Chain A
Amino acid sequence: MSTKEQSQRIELLQGTLDLLILRTLLLGPAHGHAIAKAIEFRSDDVLQVEQGSLYPALHRLIKRRWISVEEGTSENNRRAKFYRLTAKGRRQLAVETSKWGKFAGAIARILRPAKKGSEP
């Protein structure tokens, strides 16, 4: 994460972390540290996740039964908790993704003309 300049990092919007976790788990079960790494890597280190905040979010998702948790053995042969997307979580991911698309599109549309105007 230290590869990016401070100014180029973006704090996560409220609730976005849930979406990112669900999307990451779509690829398969993972433990907490792996999820954090995946989010950082896939966002090209732009999204700054305070790694600790992952855990309350994971538990929130478990409580909603969007993901489940199981004991497993990690890549270096250590026991760890693995999180897995449930069927309900998969459906939720579709809903959230489309919502996010609409949201991002709307924001982009609002910002575009202003940008044009500010160019010389």
Chain B
Amino acid sequence: VRRRDHMLDGLDQEIRDHIERETLDNIERGMPPEEARYAALRKFGNVMRVKEETRAVWSALWLEQLLQDVRFGLRNLNKDRRFTLLAILTLALGIGATTVIFSAMDSILLEPFIYAHADRLAIFFIHDLNQPNDNGRSSFSVPEFMDFREQNHVFEDVAGYSGQDVLYAGNQGAHLFDGAWVTANSFDLLGMKPFLGRAITSDDGKPGAAPVFAMSYRLWTKQFNRDPGIVGTTMTLNDQPRTLVGIMPPRFLWGNCDIWMPIYWTHSDLPGTNAGHPRMFLSPLARLKPGVSLQAATADLNVVAFNLSKVYSQDYPPHFDVITGKLRDEVVGQFRFTLYVLMAAVSMLLLIACCNVANLLLARATAREREIAIRASMGATHSRLIRQLLVESFLLSVAGCAAGCLFAYFGLKWIQMEAPLLSVPAEALIALKPAALWFALCVTILTTFLCGLAPALHAVHGDLYPRLTGAGRGAGAGFRHGKLRAGLVIFEVGLSILLLIGAGLMMRTVLALQHVDLGFNPRNILVVRPAFPPGRYDTAVKKRVFFEQVMQRIAALPGVIAVTETSTPPAYAYSGIGSEVTIPGTTHADSWTTIFRLCGTDYFRTLGIPLIRGRALSEADVDSASHVVVINQTFASKYFKDEDPIGKQIKFDQLDQIADAPHNAYFQVIGITGDIKNQGLRDAPMPEACLPYTITGGYFRRILVRTAVDPLSLLPNVRQEISAVDSSVALAQTDTIESYLTQWTYAEPDFAVTTLGIFAVIGLALVIIGVLGVMAYSVSLQTQEIGVRIALGAQQSDILKMVLLKGLRLIAAGVVIGVLASYVATRLIASQIWGVSPTDPLTFAAVVTTIILVGLAACLIPARRATRVDPMVALRYE
């Protein structure tokens, strides 16, 4: 720096001397002194620029000028606060919304789990080839599970899991926890370190090992106030004392459970008899060896499964293959697609926001034409001017980014609450993470160039002279700006059409889904699942005794219309017990399947399912566990075709697997009911059958209560009645069918439609700003012309028409582009759309009308202003 100061010292003097010498030379050649000096100056060129460039040679100029630019930019932005706020708000909406969706994708799709090597965790299914729509069976008896674990060549290890209600006898009575049996190698496989104490280790599964368990951070907080003293204590779980060895870290919730209890995990540890353990089914979670693809795993497992199908033949359908999937994909499933759609929508929103800010900047650049021209003529180079303008848009973007991140923070809070539970792993941490902040920063830099480059390039190009004198206003450069701005508005309108049509189709889908006839009346139905202490109600007779008393007591409660017992409530994801059926006298190559549920007498009355023929289950049927069955219409038409099913015999093969169920039993059809939606809202019902609940003591049981009042208000009474019959029975899963439907069935489309709806509204608002801006600008350019027209006798209505027509032309061009793009693009989201065509004319028409009306309304303000132009003022302006 010192060398530089020394070198630059005397530069001014040197230049003055130079010009003086040249002047003297010119005088010697015979020029008059005035002319000589003028010629010398002209010859020398722009003195300011020479000085600046000379200084530039010496300075660490880039940074210095950048700081200068930043200061200048801040001053400029501060001068025009309205513009600045509008631009920052627009960018904040764009960047914020994009960051929210990116964060959600990052949290849900990229790293939903905290397990070690989560990307290699896989699960597998035995897939019945006759049931193409169903993934198949993913639970295995313990010996079969162990065979899979030991015979495959593709997994590092396989852990097993089986859900188990855990009754905890605490000081304040019985509590029910969500628990699970897990093979003792699970925590090693998942690579989980405990938060406190120790994790369950492989040794805990050895025969003779002391019974232990691990607890979730969630339960530790909720139930035990984070008391570290409870680690190492012994608690009574399901009537058995177990020692708590550790608390797992906050995000660890494998199987969405709070209690994990280890079981054996190798053949050698397997007890000789099944005594003490009911026939347990384990869902496997496997870790692929590094570099093993899913295809390779599938091929290997197919061989293993083929061999095992001979050993455990009753568990295998005649034709099957193995499906393997990454854990992440299986959990997130279709929701991935929803997120992609939202990402596309939000990118459009960002583009619209960028168009708007570019438009604002263009308008500003036009207003600043003269300033820029002066700076250029004072010796600022093009690159310097462009950089100055880009620094300004960068400052805007940075402010927008900061505001956007704030916006994203709250947006994510909302997503956390609203995201559909079914599709988002309980362990996913939806929050603003570093990755998302980096993403926001990248978007910021991108928006700087998207918004700033075109205006900057336009600002510095073209002739300086007319701009300096002011004659260029409305002509020349202004015309080019006008074209670019119009183009941006057309693009913006097109994008918003696309966005609105997408949102519109989703909205119609949700409407259609909400109006799907479920086949029963879901209003005011309470669902409770009694959790029985182990071994206490394990036979059909004991269950019958319990339920008979409970049903009578609940039915007597004021406000109760009907009550029934059932194994599986309708419209739940798991809506029945799957089974193959055998119907005497029929021959068919494919396997015939149905779902069945175990029901009490009032099942149909409670749910409001119409009986179409025959009769429902009677008290006597249930009492004597008669072999009778009520089937639905789909069952009747699919398997009995034209014959009358009443009186026909059906065998449910699945019952042969249940120890205490009637084996090889044929059930006589006594009635046919209407169909209910038992495969979710979108798909046609599948065959379904109802059997008396007294034929077996197995399976979960639930109580459905139809009420005349708010169902949840009766919950304490129901709890009390059950407790009066047996206080050791706890209640698991208390809910209403309606809330279940809202939470699970409608949640995903609702989430998509709300999010898209918000984006669509923001998009529409941005379009209004865009159209308003460009029309206001165009009117201001035409002030003179309008003044002349008025002076020549044009009516206000003519002027109004002229401006509106101009605006309409822009909007119409955008609409055409948007509709064409939507026609193609909506096919891409066809799988998300249900009950409405992807090119639904009604949606298209509604969106187009909305955009045109909104756009015209936005034109109206500048158009009104145009009609008020005072011809005298406009002409004097010249």
The residues of A with any CB-CB pair to B shorter than 8 Å are 1-2, 31-33, 36-37, 50-53, 55-56, 59-60, 62-63, 69, 78, 80-81
What string of 1s and 0s marks CB contacts (under 8 Å) between B1-18 and chain A? 000000100110011011
Pairwise interchain contact B57-A51, C-beta atoms closer than 8 A: no
- The answer to whether residues A55 and B10 also contact, given A33-B22, A50-B44, A80-B17 and a CB cut-off of 8 A, is no
Pairwise interchain contact A55-B11, C-beta atoms closer than 8 A: yes
B421 interface contact, C-beta 8 A? no
Pairwise interchain contact B43-A55, C-beta atoms closer than 8 A: no
What is the CB-to-nearest-CB distance from B627 to chain A, in angstroms, rounded to a whole number? Answer: 100
> Could you say which residues of chain A place their CB within 8 Å of the CB of B480?
none
Partner of B21 from A33, A50, A63, A81 at Cβ < 8 Å: A33
What is the CB-to-nearest-CB distance from B42 to chain A, in angstroms, rounded to a whole number? Answer: 9
The 16 listed contacts between A and B (C-beta, < 8 Å) are: A31-B17, A32-B18, A33-B17, A33-B21, A50-B44, A50-B45, A51-B18, A52-B50, A53-B50, A55-B14, A55-B15, A59-B54, A59-B58, A63-B57, A63-B58, A78-B17
B47 interface contact, C-beta 8 A? yes
B240 interface contact, C-beta 8 A? no
- The answer to whether residues A32 and B14 also contact, given A55-B50, A56-B54, A59-B7 and a CB cut-off of 8 A, is yes
Pairwise interchain contact A56-B50, C-beta atoms closer than 8 A: yes
Closest-by-CB residue of A relative to B3 is A63
Q: Which of B26-61 contact A (CB under 8 A)?
A: 39, 43-47, 49-50, 53-54, 56-58
CA distance A55 to B10 in the complex (A): 12
What is the CB-to-nearest-CB distance from B298 to chain A, in angstroms, rounded to a whole number? Answer: 64
> Could you say which residues of chain A place their CB within 8 Å of the CB of B46?
52
> Could you say which residues of chain B place their CB within 8 Å of the CB of A69?
7
Closest-by-CB residue of A relative to B56 is A56
CA distance A69 to B45 in the complex (A): 23
> Is the contact region of chain A dominated by helix, strand, or loop, or is it mixed?
helix
> Could you say which residues of chain A place their CB within 8 Å of the CB of B47?
52
Pairwise interchain contact A55-B7, C-beta atoms closer than 8 A: no
What is the CB-to-nearest-CB distance from A45 to chain B, in angstroms, rounded to a whole number? Answer: 12
Known: A32-B14, A55-B54. 11 other contacts (CB 8 A): A50-B45, A51-B18, A51-B22, A51-B43, A52-B45, A55-B14, A55-B50, A59-B54, A59-B58, A63-B58, A80-B14
CA distance A62 to B11 in the complex (A): 14
Closest-by-CB residue of A relative to B31 is A2
> Could you say which residues of chain B place their CB within 8 Å of the CB of A59?
7, 54, 57-58
Number of B interface residues in the complex (CB < 8 A): 23
CA distance A53 to B400 in the complex (A): 42
What is the CB-to-nearest-CB distance from A33 to chain B, in angstroms, rounded to a whole number? Answer: 4
> Is the contact region of chain B dominated by helix, strand, or loop, or is it mixed?
helix
CA distance A32 to B54 in the complex (A): 13
- The answer to whether residues A51 and B45 also contact, given A56-B50, A59-B54 and a CB cut-off of 8 A, is yes
> Could you say which residues of chain A place their CB within 8 Å of the CB of B54?
55-56, 59
Closest-by-CB residue of B relative to A56 is B53
> Could you say which residues of chain B place their CB within 8 Å of the CB of A80?
14, 17
> Could you say which residues of chain A place their CB within 8 Å of the CB of B43?
1, 50-51
CA distance A55 to B7 in the complex (A): 11
Pairwise interchain contact A81-B44, C-beta atoms closer than 8 A: no
What is the CB-to-nearest-CB distance from B32 to chain A, in angstroms, rounded to a whole number? Answer: 14
CA distance A81 to B8 in the complex (A): 12
Closest-by-CB residue of B relative to A51 is B44
> Could you say which residues of chain A place their CB within 8 Å of the CB of B45?
50-53
What is the CB-to-nearest-CB distance from A68 to chain B, in angstroms, rounded to a whole number? Answer: 11
> Could you say which residues of chain B place their CB within 8 Å of the CB of A52?
15, 44-47, 49-50
> Could you say which residues of chain A place their CB within 8 Å of the CB of B44?
50-52
CA distance A50 to B46 in the complex (A): 9
Q: Which of B348-376 contact A (CB under 8 A)?
A: none
> Could you say which residues of chain B place their CB within 8 Å of the CB of A78?
17
Closest-by-CB residue of A relative to B15 is A55
What is the CB-to-nearest-CB distance from B483 to chain A, in angstroms, rounded to a whole number? Answer: 33
> Could you say which residues of chain B place their CB within 8 Å of the CB of A51?
18, 22, 43-45
In the A-B complex, the 5 residue pairs with the smallest Cβ-Cβ separation, listed nearest first, are A52-B45, A52-B50, A56-B53, A50-B45, A59-B57
CA distance A60 to B55 in the complex (A): 10
> Could you say which residues of chain A place their CB within 8 Å of the CB of B15?
52, 55
Closest-by-CB residue of A relative to B43 is A51
What is the CB-to-nearest-CB distance from B45 to chain A, in angstroms, rounded to a whole number? Answer: 4
CA distance A32 to B21 in the complex (A): 10
CA distance A59 to B17 in the complex (A): 17
What is the CB-to-nearest-CB distance from B54 to chain A, in angstroms, rounded to a whole number? Answer: 5
> Could you say which residues of chain B place their CB within 8 Å of the CB of A60?
57
> Could you say which residues of chain B place their CB within 8 Å of the CB of A36?
18
What is the CB-to-nearest-CB distance from B5 to chain A, in angstroms, rounded to a whole number? Answer: 13
Closest-by-CB residue of B relative to A62 is B7
> Could you say which residues of chain A place their CB within 8 Å of the CB of B50?
52-53, 55-56
> Could you say which residues of chain A place their CB within 8 Å of the CB of B57?
56, 59-60, 63
What is the CB-to-nearest-CB distance from A42 to chain B, in angstroms, rounded to a whole number? Answer: 16
Pairwise interchain contact A81-B53, C-beta atoms closer than 8 A: no
CA distance A22 to B50 in the complex (A): 20
> Could you say which residues of chain B place their CB within 8 Å of the CB of A63?
57-58
CA distance A93 to B21 in the complex (A): 28
CA distance A72 to B600 in the complex (A): 116
CA distance A113 to B531 in the complex (A): 100
Closest-by-CB residue of A relative to B24 is A76
What is the CB-to-nearest-CB distance from A3 to chain B, in angstroms, rounded to a whole number? Answer: 10
> Could you say which residues of chain A place their CB within 8 Å of the CB of B22?
33, 51
Closest-by-CB residue of B relative to A40 is B43
Interface centre among B7, B39, B46, B56 (most CB of A within 10 A): B7
Closest-by-CB residue of A relative to B57 is A59
What is the CB-to-nearest-CB distance from B14 to chain A, in angstroms, rounded to a whole number? Answer: 6
CA distance A80 to B45 in the complex (A): 21
> Could you say which residues of chain B place their CB within 8 Å of the CB of A37?
25
